[in-house]
A and B are shown apart, each in its own frame.
Chain A
Amino acid sequence: MEMTGAQIAIEELKAGGVEIAFGIPGGAIMPFYDDLLKANFKHILTRHEQGAAHMADGYARVSGKVAVVVATSGPGATNLITGLLTAQMDSVPLIAVTGQVATPMIGTDAFQEADIYGCSIPVTKYNWLVKDARQIQGVIREAIRVATTGRPGPVLVDIPKDIQTARTDYNPQAPAKGALPAVRQMPEADAKAIEKLMEALEQAERPVILAGAGIIKAGAAAELARFARHAKIPVINTLLGMGGFPGTDPLFLGMPGMHGTAYANFALCECDLLISLGARFDDRVTGKVSSFCPKAVIAHVDIDDAEIGKRVKTHIPVLGNVREVLHTLNRQVKPTERRAWLDQVEAWKRDYPLQYGWDGSIKPQYVIEQIQEITGGEGIYATGVGQHQMWAAQFLRFNEPRAFISSGGLGTMGYGLPASIGAKFGRPDKEVWLIDGDGSFAMTLVELATASMYNVPIRVAILNNAFLGMVRQWQELFFGKRYSHSHYPTNPDFAKIAEGYGVKGFSVRDVDQVRSVLEQAAEHDGPVVMDFHVNPEENVWPMVPAGAGNDEMQLAPPSPEDA
C-alpha cells in the first residue's frame, strides 16, 4: 500500500495507542495536518505552542498515556522547548512532531527554519530528523517506545515538508525496517541488593520511606501502601510523588525539603534507615547534602542507574523497577510494631503542624483548604510554580496517584493552565482544579481561549497577590524587603479577561465569599476562573534556606510581638 510520509506517521501513532494531538498548524507542517484531518485524528488547537506541550504533559501525567504535540518549523518548534524540558526533568512521556523546511532547503537559513534537532538534544530523551520517508514507520514506532519505556521522557521527530508528502510503500504489519537497536532491557533487580535492604530494615529502629514520582510512573502505589503499613514505616512524598501514598494515612508525613513539613524534615534528620523509592534526591529535597539524613543508612531503589549515587552517597543501591522491588519486599517483610519511633513521629506531627494566621484577609492556605473540603481529595489538582504550588502540596490531601500535577524539576511558570486543560482530556471523569498564582497564570492565560473553544470544565483558582510571591518572599527574608522587580501593580482583572474568552469569571476580595464562590464553581458546567485577591504578605513556612541543611529549617515567621 502506498502512502505519504505524514499518513504513515499518523497510522503508526494510532497503532501505538496514541489517541490525541495538541498543536498549531503552520507552513511546514501543513501536509501532516491535512492527513490528520483525513485520518479523523483527535486534535486540540491551542493558542501558543508552549501551551500545546504542557497540555500533552498534563494529559500524560494524569492518564499514564502518551499524547502527541504538533508544531510547525521555526518559531513553532522553538516555542516547544520549555515544554519539552519540563517533561524531561519530570520524566513525562510526550511525542513532539515538528515540521521542517524541505530537505533541499535545510541549512540555508530558509524562512521559518530552525535547527530544532540540535536545539532539542539537551531537552529530550532522544530525537530524530527524518530524511527519508521510508524511515518514518520505524522512527515513529521507536519514538513511542523510547518515550514510554524505562524512565519515560519526551522525544521529538522533525519531519521535513517534502518527506511528509513523499509517497512510499507501507505495510502496517511489517517489522519496522531500519529500526535502531533496542534500548537496553532493564535487568531484574539484584536479589542480593534486596536481601541487603531487608537486613537493614530488620536492624533499623527508625526507618523512613522517601517516595518519589517513580512510584506513580511504575504503578507501585498499592505495593507501597502494603509495604509501609505492614512494616510500619512513615512515608514522605516528594512534590512529584504526591498521591503515591494516601494523604490521609496516619503514616503519611507530607513533603520534605525546602518547604516540606517540619515533621518530615525532623524524621529525615533522625532516621537510621532511609528507603528512597523512585526519587532522585533533588537539591530542593536534600538541602545541603552533607547534613542530609546524617544518621541513616541510605537505600536507593531506582530504574535509572545514573540517578543512583548521583548526588547522595548510597549504601544500598537497588537498580530495578520499583513495583517489582516492592513486590519482592512484600513477600519477605515481617509485621513490626516500632512503637517508640511512631510515637515520636506522632508527637512531631502534633507539636509542629502546618499552620497559618487568621486576620480577616483572604489567606491563600484557607482557599486551598476549602478546595480540599469541597472536593474531598477526589479531584485532579494542577498548579503553576511558586508559593501557591508549595501551599497546594502542603494543604491538599490526595487519595490516589496521578491526582497532583505540577512542574517539579524545571519549575515552569505558566505550566498550570495548559496542563489542567490537558488533564481534563486525559481524565474526563475527574473534576480538574487548577491552583495558580497571578504571575504564572499571566504567562499562558491565552489558553483560556482553548478551554473556552472546547468547553473544558476546569476550575481555576488564582491566588492573586500581585507579586511574584516566591521572589518577594526571598527578597523580604534575604534582601531587606527590597522588592526589586517582583511587583505587578497593574495586574488586569482576570475575571473580566475570563469573560472575554467566554469563560465564567469571579473576582473575590472578601473572605466570606470564598466558600460560596468555590461551591458555585464546582457546580458550573464549563470552565471557571476565580480571582482570589489574597493577602500579599503571606509567606511559605517552614523554609530551609537554599544551600542550608534540612536541620536549619525555619519553622515560622518571627511573631509580630518579636518585631
Chain B
Amino acid sequence: MSKRKPTPPWYAEHLLLWFLKEELVEEVLGDLDEKFYHTLDKSSRLKAKLNYWYQVVHYIRPFAMKKYRSNSTSFIMFQNYFKIGYRNLFKNKFTSFINVGGLAIGMSVAMLVSLWVKDELSYNKTHKNYDRLAQVMFHSNWGGTKVSTTGIVTTGLGTLLKNSYASYFEKVALVRARLEERIFTYKDDHFIENGYYMQPDGPEMFSLKMVSGSANGLKEMRSVLLSQSLAKKIFGDTDPVNQVVKFNEQTDVQVTGVYEDLPGNSKFHDAAYFAPIDLFIHGWSHLNVWDNYNMFVFVQLRDGVDFNQASTLIKDIMKPYIQEVRQHDLFLHPMSKWHLFSEFKDGKQVTSDRITFVWFYGAVGIFVLLLACVNFMNLSTARSENRAKEIGVRKSMGSARIQLFNQFLSESILVAVLAFTLSLLFVSLILSWFNSLAGKNMIMPWSEPFFWLGGLGFTLMTGLLAGSYPAIYLSSFNPVKSLKGTFRSGKNASLPRKVLVVFQFTVSIALIIGTLIVYQQIQHVKDRPVGYLRDGLLMLPKRSSELWGKHDLIRNELVKTGAVEEIGVANYPLTNTLGNNDGFSWEGNNPSEYHSFNTVLVNHDYGKTIGWELLQGRDFSRDNKSDLAGVVITESARQIMEIDNPIGISLHYEYGMNGIHDFTILGVVNDLIKGDPFKSSVPAIMFLSERDLLWMFIRIKEGYPQNEALAKIDNVFKTLTPSAYVDFKVLDEEYSAKFSSEERIGKLATFFAVLAVIISCLGLFGLALFLTEKRSKEIGIRKVLGASIIGIWRLLTQDFVGLVMISSVIAIPVAYFFLDRWISNYDYQMDISWWVFGVTCMGALLIAILTVSYQAIKSAMANPVNSLRSE
C-alpha cells in the first residue's frame, strides 16, 4: 500500500477561507490544489506545503478580500463615530492641527521625561550583583553637632573586612577613591585615560563582561584591564591581550583582559581601565594603613545576610585602630541607593539634588502634558457649539447620553492615537539631540513590550482625560434648544475655558521665570571673582619622569621665548580642592571646633604666576630664608581664625610640613575658587616649598596671542624633553567645564519652557480663532455701524489680556517659592531680582496679544458684507 495521499495544509486553507471572497473560493481553491499536487510531483511534501502557504499569503490582496461588515449595532455606531470624528478633523484643518500638534508635543515631552526618569532610576542595574553590593561608608562625629559622612576609608579597613568578616561578605574589594589619570604609551602613541585601581575581586563583583582575556586579570601587580573602546584606540585590530603598554612612561604593564564598555548609567562608566591596587600603593604604602583615607571599600553580601544586619555588625569596628577623638560609625550603602540617595547631612540621608531633579522633571513632563490636554479640552468645548445641532439630531434620533459620551471619547482617543504616532516620530528624530543636551545615552525602547504597553495605556489615558470634559459637557445639551438654534452657552460655559487658559499661562510664565533665574544664577557664579587670573594661564601635570628636576632650565627657556611671563609650581592643580588637613591651631582658637584647611605646597613664583590678589602682608620672597616657615592664607581662612590682622601671627601645625611645625602668617590673599564655584570657598593655607612639584603653571604674557604662545611653549618642551608627553590644560576651559551640569539644567529648562510656551500659544491661538469666528456677525454689524479696526481689535483682545494678567499674579509667588528653594542649595547665590518677574509677565502679555491679534486684526479687516451676507 502506498502512503496516505498528502493533502494541502489544513490551517492554510482555513486562513484562506477566512478572508477570501465567497465568489472566488471555488476557482482559487482549485488552482491552489492543482499547484499543490503539481509541486508534490516535482519535489518534496514539505516544499509543496510551504508553497501552499506562500500562495495563500499572496492572496492577501484587496481584490480577493471580503468586505468586512458586522451586523452588530454598536459596531456600526462606533464606525460612525470614527467616521464623523475623522470628518470633523479634516473640516477644521487648522484647529485640528493645533489639537493634534499640541498633544503630540506634550506627549513627546512626557516621553522624553519618562525616558530620562527611567534612565535615572536604572543606575547601576546592569551590574549582576546589584542587590548584594554595597559601599562601606561612615558617619564621623567631630564632637558636638557636626557629623560628616563619607565613603573614603583606609586600606586597613578593607583588609580587616576581608580577613575577619568573610562569613558576611562573599567578596571585598578596595578601590582607589577617585579616578586616576594615566598615560598609556604604546609604540610612541600616547593616550591619557582615567581609570580605577582596584583589588582583584573587583571585576567579578561588578560583573564586567569580558570580551577577551580574564576577569581575574588583576592578580598580578603589573597588569591592566582595558575597556573595549580603549583597547580599540590603542591597539586597533591587533589582539590586545598579553600586549605590553607603558604606564605613565615608567612601568610596563601587561593587558590581561578587555571588557565591554560599561553603560553610561554605571558608577564606573567613566573608567577606561582597571588596574590592580597593588600597583597604586607599590613603593609608598601598604594594605594595612589606618591613617590615610584614600580608598573606597565595596562588599558583596553573602546570601541570607541583609544590609541592616551587616551594617550593625560593622558599626564600631574601626575604633580599635584609630586614636582620633572623632567617632566613626560604619554602615553599608547599598548599590541601589548610590545614584539617587547619596547625600548626607548631619549623619542622616537627605533629599539629593538628583532625586529633586527626577521629581522636578517628572513634574514638568506631567505639566506640559497637562497643558496639551487642556488645549484639547479647551478647543473641543469651544467647537462644541458648532456641533450643537449634530448633538440635537443624534439625541432626537434616540441617542442615549452614554452613546454621545462614547462618541466624544472615541473621537478624542482617535486624536490621541494620532498624536502618539506623531510624537513617536518626533521623539525618535530629536532623541540624539536631547541626549547631548541631557548628557545621556538613551535609546528608543522599540522592542520593549513595557514601553508599548505604557505608551498605549498612556495614550488611552490622555484620550480619556482630554475627552472626558467635552464628553460629559457636550452630552448634556438640551436637544430642543440646540436644534432651534437658541442654544447659547451662558457665562458658565466660558468660565472653565478661562480657567484653563489661566492655568496654561501660569505654568508657562513660571517656567520662563525659572529658566531666566537659572541662567542668571549661572551668570552670577561665572562672574564670581576667583582670586586669580584665569586668562592666559596654563597648567601642566608633570607625569613624565623626564619633566622632573629641570625646573630652572624649563623656566629660563620659556621666559626666553618672550611669550611667557612666569612659571610656578604647586603640588595640586587650581581646579580641585584636594589635600585637606586638620591639625591647625592658633592663638585663641576653640579646640572643640573642628576646622579643616586646604593645604597646598607652592614655590616662590606660584603667586605671581597665577596672579593671586594680596589683601594683607606679602608674598613669599626669595630674599627671606625664613619664609620656609611662613604661610600665606586665604581670606576665608582668616575669617575662620577670627583674626583681623593676622600678619605675623604664628600658626601651629600638628602634623608638620617639611619637618616644621610652627609657621608665621606672611600674607592674606583673596579666596581662590578651585572647586565647585557654586559652593562657598574652601579656606586654604599655602606653604612654601623649594622642591620641584607636580603641577606646573605657566603665565602667558598679557596680550600675547594664546595660539602662538602655545606653539612656542610646545616647542621648548619638544627640545628639552623630547619624549615626554606634555598635556597642557587651559585654565579658562577647565573652569568653564565646572558649569556643565548647571548649564545642562539651564538648557533643559529652556527646552521645556519653550515647548510650554508653544503649547500655550497654540491653545490661545485656537481659542481666539474660534471666538472671533463666533463673533464674526457681531463684528460685521459693528463695522457697518462705524467701528474702527483698532476698536474691534481692542474688543477682541481685552479678554485675553485680563486672563494673562491673572496668570501672572498666580505664577509669580509660585515661581518665587520654588526658585528661592533651588537657589538656597547653592552657597554662592544671587538675590532674585524682581525685574525678571516683571519682564517675564510683560513678555507673556506681549506674546498673548500678538497671538490673539493676528486673528483679531484679520477679522477686523474683513469685509463686513462677507460675514453678514449669509443667513
Q: Do A and B bind each other?
A: no
Residue positions of A touching B, CB distance < 8 A: none
Residue positions of B touching A, CB distance < 8 A: none
